[in-house]
């Protein structure tokens, strides 16, 4: 699965917001949002 697909399926609202950004900024935003999705999936334990 690539970064675009990860964000598009995992967080469609942020994906649409990314598509509204300027093309040079899209890749940076997609990487940031994909990282956010991975962090959110991580189990938190003490």
For CA atoms 13, 34, 9, 27, give the dihedral sign.
positive
User: Quick one: CA torsion of 9, 19, 31, 38, rounded to 10 degrees?
Assistant: -30
| Confidence at 21, pLDDT banded by 50, 70, 90 | very high
| 29 within a domain of the structure (yes/no) | yes
Q: Work out the percent of the chain whose per-residue pLDDT is above 70.
A: 96
Distance CA 33, CA 21 (A): 13
Task: Give yes or no for residue 19 having a pLDDT over 90.
Answer: yes
Asked if residues 16 and 30 have their Cβ atoms less than 8 Å apart, the reply is no
Q: Which domain holds residue 9?
A: 3-40
User: Phi/psi of residue 15, each to 5°?
Assistant: -60, -45
Q: Look at the block and give the residue holding tokens 């949002």.
A: 33
| 46 within a domain of the structure (yes/no) | no
Number of domains in the chain: 1
| 34 within a domain of the structure (yes/no) | yes
| 25 within a domain of the structure (yes/no) | yes
Task: Give yes or no for residue 45 having a pLDDT over 70.
Answer: no
| 45 within a domain of the structure (yes/no) | no
| 30 within a domain of the structure (yes/no) | yes
């Amino acid at each position: 699965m690539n970064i675009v697909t990860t964000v598009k399926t995992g967080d469609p609202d942020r994906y649409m917001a990314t598509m509204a950004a300027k093309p040079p900024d899209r890749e940076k935003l997609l990487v940031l949002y994909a990282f956010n999705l991975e962090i959110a999936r991580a189990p938190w334990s003490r």
